[in-house]
Structure 1
């Protein structure tokens, strides 16, 4: 049953309303699956597409390529948000999901650096940019589409399902990777089978398009369109008028930036890299640990989304950021203690200090390894000081 913006409903959810949430969420889950594969398989991508530099630099460049997708997401939101205002949410959904699915599929077939040279990393980054543009439009569009169907007193509960999609997308990517790794074996997985999860995306794309084609246009958009009230210059209205721009900036830096750092980048992805790269946990075990954590945490999105309809959004956002600020340091310390106690003991018994001449001490980020730095193993606290 189509809903009207502002309606308050206490009736049970209808079959049509469940279909709206399911179809919107499932398509977005598949998009996040595609988007997150580059991070989950970063070590194999670096060895394949960035083998022209040393392994450490290659891994850093892979992460930068992964970050490029996030960097262009705001532009995707602007471009496809404008398209959604012009032609509707449903058709914008189809465009974004096709771009995402095809970009991911092409990465699975992309030859490595040893075959086509510098073109390999260039094409990989280009595909990541397309993925970021698509996801920027998809994620915001899905939330808008569901919110425009939701009664005003259930928007938190309904759109909370969209918030689960990023976690579920990462969860599915880890499960697919674990399955392929188990079936093919570690040696074959590292050689070529890591591409299979990317190729699977073509099947997910077909399912997503089929489901999305069955959706109807948002009732709010249809009403606004029929009344001739669609904006002719939405970007100007959003960013050129201070009263609207202020809301955009508050939402970006006051609401979404903090939860994005807490939820996705630190809580999910950095924890995976921390386990495998710093604590040297094998990939299978690390994937299982993160997957279990995601499975446990996902239902809480819906719980707190529903709670926000009762007590408001702000208290929940503030509480979540506060808990993260207080718990992240002890949690990562506990990860090191319980997964690699030998490494923890070694860092305590054999600290290291970097000693450098203050006149020569400078910014030392050098991912391609061309600079040489003299080090002296005395203490772990890194600082610039005059050598004795």
Structure 2
């Protein structure tokens, strides 16, 4: 079998063109991630704006569930826009996704709150989040395919890794904008109108990003495929109906993307939720710590992308999954130790025992949290304790609801009375700034994000090398968005729900660790590293791997 190698000369003109392609594709993707994550950065804050008051954990869970709603349609966006990208072109399709994203985001900036229009507010918010998810579902697959089909195969991991940093940069920009606004206005002004500014800024970003992308040419690989009449007539059918391609999709999801997704979202979003809602750090401090960690760790996306060109993609990503499964629990425990020492001391010396109240019948625990007026006292009590980071033991039995705190017993759930008893025993209502070890908190966050760069940096090149040209846009988008949208996107919500239902502030990490280990096992057994694959050849027809000897020869 003859190996086909892309050997276009690395001329200065081609290098400039490639850099322009990377810049334009990455800029647009940064804009879309900024739009998508500006809500995530404000998710906890939104709980009091768009959902009924009366239950702190319910508001947080509702805001996180709405954040997760943006991920529901991402796989469907991947299918819809993936099909268009494989039929009409990469460039035209990701211009459409950008327009949808920009309009949805700007509309959130004008949306009335729950106090103004009642339940219509969260309903419209969820609809807009769904539109955002639909758009982002088709964006990244098109952008990474576009860059890969322009890139030298020997530098594909390095070139596509610039796109991998766009999610983190989008989050970084969103955090920076929020931090600037919150530090430049009063709490009342930010709550009244300041929160709308980050969404409205997307209008200007949309205009500039569209201008830059419209100047691009279509992918040469796509044009060559069309010129030879080799394009797919039905990319969706060829992706899901072809057993070989479907197997690639499934193996890619569970052997690579799933682990990357939960690690990335836990490091970038659940960590912020953990700092503010659980450890009670001021939002400005939490944003600042995460921003510093992101700035320090972001270059490693490119480093691991570059390294994957030398040693392959597979084992870099799987090593990141293994290290994450081992280190995430102690890293979050470290954040608790250094972020709020008083709370850790309180948890070590205090255990609330909940007795009676028919808590054993409390089967729909999380569901009840979204109905504050109808929620059982036992559920409200567990929600309150979890929101304060207070460990509890549940003794389901008949009889009147009681709370045993040391030598004190309270009958019935009176939040004010229970809070008073806990404060007397040393429960901190907020983190003491004098005791926060900021450098160590930043270090914990840095390592979390570093692990995310390890699994995500090589991901773009890895994905495009798994699928043939005819269905590359569809295959990459579907695999990425099912893994990120459904497995990773709900990670913060699932983790928070597990904490609230158990009373253990670290219980939510079990989900991330379990998915990381699953990915490690599936990836080690089933994933093939196709570094150097010729972008012009269908995998189903011929294996076009670029062997080390051929790679060395082409470099000479």
Structure-1-length-normalised TM-score: 0.93
| CA distance 1:121–1:7, shift in 2 (3 Å) | same
Query: Displacement, 1:384?
Result: 4.7
- Residue number among 356, 371, 378 corresponding to 2:375 in the alignment: 371
Cα distance in 2 between the residues matched to 1:112 and 1:69: 19
Listed as ranges, the gaps of 5+ residues in structure 1 are none
Which residue in 1 is equivalent to 2:77?
76
Which residue in 1 is equivalent to 2:275?
275
Query: Displacement, 1:234?
Result: 1.1
Query: Displacement, 1:106?
Result: 0.4
52-61 or 342-351, larger mean C-alpha shift: 52-61
Which residue in 2 is equivalent to 1:188?
189
Which residue in 2 is equivalent to 1:90?
91
1:7 matched to 2:18? The reply is no
1:353 aligns to what SS in structure 2?
strand
Query: Displacement, 1:296?
Result: 1.1
2:393 aligns to what SS in structure 1?
coil
Larger Rg: 2
Cα distance in 2 between the residues matched to 1:279 and 1:315: 35
Matches within 5 A, 1:108-147: 108-147=109-148
Query: Displacement, 1:232?
Result: 0.4
Query: Displacement, 1:117?
Result: 1.8
Which residue in 1 is equivalent to 2:162?
161
RMSD: 2.1
173-182 or 200-209, larger mean C-alpha shift: 173-182
Which residue in 1 is equivalent to 2:312?
312
Matches within 5 A, 1:187-206: 187-206=188-207
Which residue in 2 is equivalent to 1:337?
337
Query: Displacement, 1:310?
Result: 1.2
Query: Displacement, 1:186?
Result: 2.3
Which residue in 1 is equivalent to 2:67?
66
1:14 aligns to what SS in structure 2?
helix
Cα distance in 2 between the residues matched to 1:124 and 1:186: 23
> What whole-Å deviation, never above 9, does each CA across 1:87-141 have from its counterpart, x for those lacking one?
1111111100110011000000011122222211111100000000100100111
RCO comparison, higher one (Cα < 8 Å, 6+) = 2
Tell me if structure 1 keeps the 8 A contact 2:151–2:159: yes
Which residue in 2 is equivalent to 1:48?
49
Query: Displacement, 1:9?
Result: 6.5
Query: Displacement, 1:183?
Result: 2.1
367-376 or 237-246, larger mean C-alpha shift: 367-376
Cα distance in 1 between the residues matched to 2:58 and 2:127: 19
Query: Displacement, 1:352?
Result: 2.5
1:121 aligns to what SS in structure 2?
helix
346-355 or 300-309, larger mean C-alpha shift: 346-355
Which residue in 2 is equivalent to 1:149?
150
358-367 or 330-339, larger mean C-alpha shift: 358-367
Listed as ranges, the gaps of 5+ residues in structure 2 are 400-556
Cα distance in 1 between the residues matched to 2:343 and 2:150: 52
| CA distance 1:6–1:104, shift in 2 (3 Å) | farther
| CA distance 1:359–1:193, shift in 2 (3 Å) | closer
- Residue number among 393, 418, 424 corresponding to 1:382 in the alignment: 393
Structure-2-length-normalised TM-score: 0.66
